Structure 1
Amino acid sequence: MTTDRKQTLLNLAAAVLLTACGESTPVSDQPRPVRVAEARSADLLKQAVFNATIKAERETPVAFQVGGRLVVRGVREGSRVESGTALFELDQSDFALEVGRLQAERIVAQAELKTATADLQRIQQLLQQQFVSPTDLDRAENRVQAAQGRAGAVDAALALAQRQLTYTRLSAPFSGQINHIGVEEGQMIAAGEPLAILYGDQLEVVFQLPVQYAEQVKVGGLLDVSIWNCRQCATTATVSEIGSATRENVGTLVVRGVLADSHPHLRVGMSGRVRLTLGLPSGGVVIPQQALVSWKDRPAVWVVDAGGNRAVPQIVEPGEAIDDQVVIRNGLTTGTRVVTAGQHVLSVEQPIRLLD
């Protein structure tokens, strides 16, 4: 065995003996690279901003309940209409002819019913005088029932035809603005085919709220709303509805708020932002959540000294966690630098090197 190999074995044996006896390894003099962040005022977390879209509180596709040829388009794209305003009209000729035919048929059916009823009354009198048999009475009653059935069927068909005639005129069900008109006069229209979309006058703002903010938003609460490229459109909204999380929006809630006023430049489909004031307690600082570690079974952070050469553990009192940030209620002040990466392998008095 060579002298070098003997020396190596002796060194290993010594290290094992020192470990067994409880001796600790000296702290390395090599600086440990770490990343740091400054503690900021927790008041910065009292507001959260979310992307939002302007929508109409009421909107509906405009469509006929019957099909036919469009003869009147009474509105233009973007027109403002009042409830009951005529929007579109179909050719009524076929519907009017059907109403006329059924009206004539109703006259015949009513006459047949009147005749059958008179015959029944006459036979009832003759039966009392025994001039006719009970079989004749049965036949008369059956004729009356058949005439009543025909008259009822004609009345129902006439009522339907009259309703369908009224369906050829399409009016606004509520006041608002007409958009997305996709038809022209002379075009054949199918029943139920959307011709346009009617947006109600009352506008609302809609946005996705992460579930961690759910306790901060209540129905009836106020929201600050700003619109991209429209400073004068800034307004407020009152929360009207807080939806539930869906498969499509896992981890978020759909929130709707009714706008306090509608600026003339506001339009459905505009994008903007909603600023939410959070109900957090005053005071404290905020740091990245990854800075938190456990020191002697208590929450702590590694605080960098003024020279940026060493870090020491500092016991802290964490508060609310918002996104990737956490509020520290006690133990830190604004501007204090804390280690956010590399702190789990730090030792007390070990030199550090700050990474950019």
Structure 2
Amino acid sequence: MFVAKKLPVALAAALLLAACSKTEPKTEEIRPVRAMVVQSSNIDVNAEFSGEVRSRVESRLGFRVGGKIVSRKVDVGSVVRHGQVLMELDPQDLKLSQAQALAALRAAETNRDLASSELKRYQELRDKNFVSQAILDAKLSAAKSAQAQVDSAQAAYRGQSNQAGYAQLLSDIDGVVTAVDAEVGQVVSPGTPVVRVAKSDEKEIVFGVPEDKVDTLRKIEDVQVRLWADPEKSVPGKIREISPVADPFTRTYAFKVTIPQSLTEAKLGMTAVVAFASKTPVPQIKVPLTALFHERNATSVWVVENGAVKLVPVTVTGVQGNDLVLGSGIKSGQTIVTAGVNLLKPGQKVNILGAAAK
């Protein structure tokens, strides 16, 4: 009787254990991936760089003689004309040297006049046969030597006169003062730059380009320039110079783009944007290198359709930077996987991380 009562309890426990140990059906794995929507375009290169408006010609002016600066006539930003006085040195010592050279010239002229008079007198005596020819030749040589001394003294005087004129520093171009490197009271040596003047009629934009873009941009002829202060107005520019050496700090190569004189709004020091653009005759589809899947000497990409992926063979026709140009296989508007291609299999469900980027 006791055994009969325990049998239903044991049976119920066995059924409960069997229900708990029943295996659940396997769920299909959904793998997260990154993807992009491919678009065909005939734009080969489209790049923009920010630069600074500078003058093509900038003169670093210095005095041709040494001395103490006694006056400064301009400030940074002053508009100057050719021949305008920028700075002046103390001219006292230069004027004394000029006076000394003038005195030496006067003394040489006096000696020349005396030698000429003696030569004339001895020529008359020679005509009367009162002196020998040797004495006349000596007087002729003395007269020529005196004339040579006069010529030397005249050259020295002109040189000292020029030196006195160099006490004034004159602008050699029409432009704008961009820097003043010396002040009143400072003693400067000959040739030391004290004022920088930029020519105002020829301007260009200077900017740095990474080394992987230099060769590509060098061949582009469609260059457009616009000022940050007036972004709606765009004018054509022209590459004038490309630095052959990278900047030691930024490791970029300096490009100089000439802008037309019609862009009168461009002032020195302004920020400008230089845009490069080039197009191909036939639209192209570009994909990143990470989108390719290699298997058995075949190149393919994973195309996402209805939440699943399928493998589509493609042909690569070229390389542009970090992108590959595809010749066939996919069409514009399709979504392809760009990261995680080696972990997929045909028909696998995927979850695109974020929206598919165009």
Partner of 2:281: helix, strand, or coil?
coil
1:1-356 map, 5 Å: 35-43=34-42, 45-124=44-123, 126-127=125-126, 130-201=129-200, 202-209=202-209, 210-214=213-217, 216-218=219-221, 222-227=223-228, 230-231=229-230, 235-246=234-245, 248=247, 252=253, 254-263=255-264, 266-292=266-292, 300-319=299-318, 321-343=319-341, 345=342, 349=346, 351=348, 356=353
AA in 1 matched with 2:335: R
Q: Distance in 2 between matches of 1:245 and 1:293?
A: 39
Is the contact made by 1:65 and 1:192 (CA closer than 8 Å) also made in structure 2?
yes
Q: 1:136 to 1:146 in 2, by over 3 A?
A: same
Equivalent pairs, count: 320
Point out the more displaced range, 255-264 or 111-120.
Answer: 255-264
Whether the 8 Å CA contact 1:235–1:260 is kept in 2: the answer is no
- Distance in 1 (CA, whole Å) between partners of 2:63 and 2:115 is 41
Q: Secondary structure at the match of 2:245?
A: coil
Larger Rg: 2
The verdict on how the C-alpha distance between 1:31 and 1:233 changes in structure 2, with shifts beyond 3 A counting, is closer
Equivalent in the alignment of 1:19: none
Rounded to whole Å, the distance in 2 between the matches of 1:119 and 1:296 is: 113
| CA RMSD of superposed structures (Å) | 3.4
Structure 2: which 5+ runs fail to align? 1-27, 354-358
TM-score, length basis structure 1: 0.74
Shift, 1:342, TM fit: 4.7
- Cα deviation, residue 156, structure 1: 1.6
Sort the Cα spacing of 1:140 and 1:293 in 2 relative to 1 into closer, same or farther, 3 A.
farther
Taking a change above 3 Å as real, the CA distance of residues 217 and 305 of structure 1, as seen in their structure-2 partners, is closer
In 2, the alpha carbon distance for the partners of 1:148 and 1:243 equals 58
Q: Deviations over 1:203-252 (max 9, x none)?
A: 2112334223245334xx5422232xx24695424215133532548784
For residues 30-49 of structure 1, the C-alpha deviation after alignment (integer angstroms, 9 at most, x for no partner) is: 88876543323435654211
Letter of the 1:324 partner, please give it.
N
1:314–1:37 distance in 2 versus 1, CA, 3 Å: same
TM-score (ref. length: structure 2):
0.74
Equivalent-residue separation in structure 2 for 1:148 and 1:142 (angstroms): 10
- Check whether the contact 2:41–2:284 (CA below 8 A) recurs between aligned residues: yes
1:33-89 CA deviation, whole Å, 9 max, x = no partner? 765433234356542112322111221122211122323322222112222222222
Greater than 6 Å deviation, 4+ residue runs: 29-33
Letter of the 2:215 counterpart: Q
Q: Structure 1 110/32 Cα, relative in aligned 2: closer, same or farther at 3 Å?
A: same
